Structures are given as structure tokens and as C-alpha cells.
Chains A and B, each alone.
Chain A
């Protein structure tokens, strides 16, 4: 069982950036993308996102399943929202829609605008995933504490984030040991007997020992922290983070993108669905 965070982008251009750059990029990009509905601009954002993703050097073979899951999941969401549940077209007046047909039984109107809104949503999710993956795979897991501390998160919580990442490998090992031990005792996790409730109850022999063992072991960590006077003074971090010129340029680029999308949302039609002439019937 491999549940530890994977540092797949090691050595890439993006992994050599200050990790704060990767966090800020996601924040700026998420708020940029949610403002854009014109698919021409969305294709532009997707191109930027894919270029950014490429700079993380994440081997595709290692994340093929993740991409398959993301694409399946977002396609399902877009389909349900746009077609089955009759998703609204943002800022569109119902009477102005170019309707092709109404779905039988549920009567949802399928219009040029609703199809393009669905396409914009699909592109947006893929772009967000492309920007999100480097955050998952191109930051060294040991750097998260220092990263969030330097981004202004209170240092006790930043330390808790750091501690969380340090606990993960040992808890993953404990979990595997517990599963093996319970299987040896005859626990059948995959058995369907007893329905959902039975299956849930069968998770307890795995869940309870793993959790209680971790809680019992916490006292050692608490004592160690107290003995080192945790929280009595300002904390320093082993990893020293400094922005270089490239880091500043990357942050400035994505901040400008957000600023431009916000201004364009008020002054242009970027936040409305654009319909190419060939999709307008008759």
C-alpha cells in the first residue's frame, strides 16, 4: 500500500522554485478560472495550465490512473450538471438561448449555450487539475510546514501540517501491519456478507487499533515537544525559503492573470458563454 505523498517532480524546473510559488499559483489560477466562461479564453487558460504542468516534469506513467479518474469524474459532473439536471447557462437570458432540442422525459433544453458552458466547465476542471497536480507531486513533502508558515499561517498550525506529513509514512506502515494481522486472524474485508452495515462493521478491527495505537503513541511526541519548550518562543525552520527573480516573475504572471480576468469580467464578455456563428441554428 503506497499512501505516502510522492515527490515525482524531483529535479524539474518547477520543483526548484520556492514552494510558495506553487501554492500561490493554484490560488491565483482557481480564482482566475472560475471567472471565465468564454471558451476561447478557457482554451488559453488550459494552454497555460498544461505548460505549467509540463514544467513540473511529472512522469505520465506514474499519474495515468490519477488523470483517468479526474477526467472520468469531471466529465460525469459536467454531464449531470449540463444535461441531466438542466444546468443554467451563467448570465444568459432563457429566451435568448439557441435551443436545438429538448431531452425526452426530463425536458431539459439542449442549447448551443448549454453545450458550450459544459465544455467551458470541462476545460476549467482539466486546467485546475493540471495546476493542482504539481502541488501534489512537485513539492518535497517535508517543505509544507515551512511553506505555510512563510505564507502567514500561524506557526503552530504550520508545525501541525509539518507533523502531519511526518506521521503519514509510519501510520501507513501501522495500517498495513494491522490489515495483515487481522487477515491472519480470519478477517475478510472484501466479503459482502451482512450488506453495507456488515462491511462497515468489518472495518472496525482495522480502524480502531490503528487509531487507538496512534493516539496512545501521541503522548511521547507531546512530552518531547513540551520538554523542548514548544510554543514558548518564535520557531525557526530548517528549510530557509527565499524567492528568486524567476519565482517573482511566475507569481507576478499569475497575479496579473487574475487581475486581468477580474477586470475583463466587468468590462468585456469574458464571463459569458460565447457561441461561434456556425453553432447558431438557421
Chain B
């Protein structure tokens, strides 16, 4: 399913004296099966944008479409159905756990949002666990005994069990340590291979560089940048002027490019490739 935003604006509490404009005139197209990165500092509107795509919020102006559907035009029942196909993983999703056991928590959505019969829960929970890199035996473990990274993956599994065609993620790696981050990346790569459309909002650039095909940047509610990731190298100084804190290897690649060192577009987003290129071409 593809995602489309056309000239979308959104203001919180628009009808009161405390209105706050979160998005203005944002247009974004995400083709089916693509991984779209969404970067920007906190408060730039990333969370708002994600919630517009799955209908938790309705745009004040402009149009949001997911596949053939327009979330703003759906009634609550249709919205609930849409959200089984368009999953949204909030920040720190482990704060929403309801059940005590891993298997019950993952099956929560199946139990209350689908017509899947209870005897089907176990195999589907098993599949979801596998997708996040956890063994099927995790289903019987107590959530309170899990590490932060495991909890995050269980929360992810709880969304994946619904088999969404589109997955929206809000800061999926925030608060996780490196091994847990690698596990989440592995899951997202698996989903990419399966053809799931991904919209990834994060300020973790290494994550975005590793996974995304396209990168969009929000600043104070406006879309200031939208290009394929491969073209990032040409825009580094522009992005810096926008106030974005790019990772050091990217900045190094840009400084080197200014001095005529241009081994290829990949060095801006892949620190290993950068190191290799420098070793082979500069240090010999």
C-alpha cells in the first residue's frame, strides 16, 4: 500500500486560544514497499504526521491517503479495520503492555481486534516472535522479567501479529542499547524483504541510513527536504544550515568531498564504506 500526503496541515486545539500548528503544507509520497525515513528534531511534527496516516488525527487541510482509502473519511469501525493493515508503533511501546505473559500480550490485538479463533493464536504469536528474532518459547515468559530490548521487540511483535501492509514507527530505537538496536534493524530488514511499506520517524541517523531508501526532513512542521538517500551527499551543507545534527562520518565525507575526494555517494551514509575508501585512496 502506498502513502500519500498532499498539502497537509494540522493544528492542535485549533478552536481555542492555545492552538499550536504542528504541520503546514506537507506533501509526501511513499511508494508501496519503500522504506521512507523521516528525520527532524523533537517537536518538528514527526509524531503528528504518523498519526495522520493511521487516522488517529484528521488533517485540518489537505489530503491523506493510504492505498485507496482516506482515513479522515472513515467511520470508527472502518478506521479500526484500517489500523490492522496500517500498524503504528508508538515511542516506548512497552509502556502500553496490558497482559502478564508475552504470548497473551502479543495476542491482545488478535483477541480484541480480529475474528481470529483462539486456537489460531499460538501459531500466529509464534510467527510474530520469529519476525522479531525471539524464540517461540518466549510466549510463556513473564513480561516483567524481560530486558528493555526484549520488551521493545515484544511490543513490535504485538503489532506485527496483525500482519500490517504498512508499518509506521515512531523512534523505534529510542532508549535501546546497541544489541537491541541491531535486533530491531534485523526485524525491519525482514519486513522490507516482505514488501511492507515502512515509514520510520527517528532522530537516529545511523538507523535511517542503514534502512531507508528515501529521506525526508521536517523542521517546525514543514517539509524542508525530501530525496532518495543516495543523493544525501549533495545536500549536506543545506541540511546543516537547517540545523540538523548529522553524524560525524557524514560530515567528514562532506569535508573530504569539498577537497575533491569523491569516491561515491555511498560514503555519506555508510561509515564502513567511507573508512574503506579513505584507506584505499588516501592512505596509500
Q: Do these two chains really belong together in a complex?
A: no
Q: What residues of chain A have their CB less than 8 Å away from a CB belonging to chain B? A: none
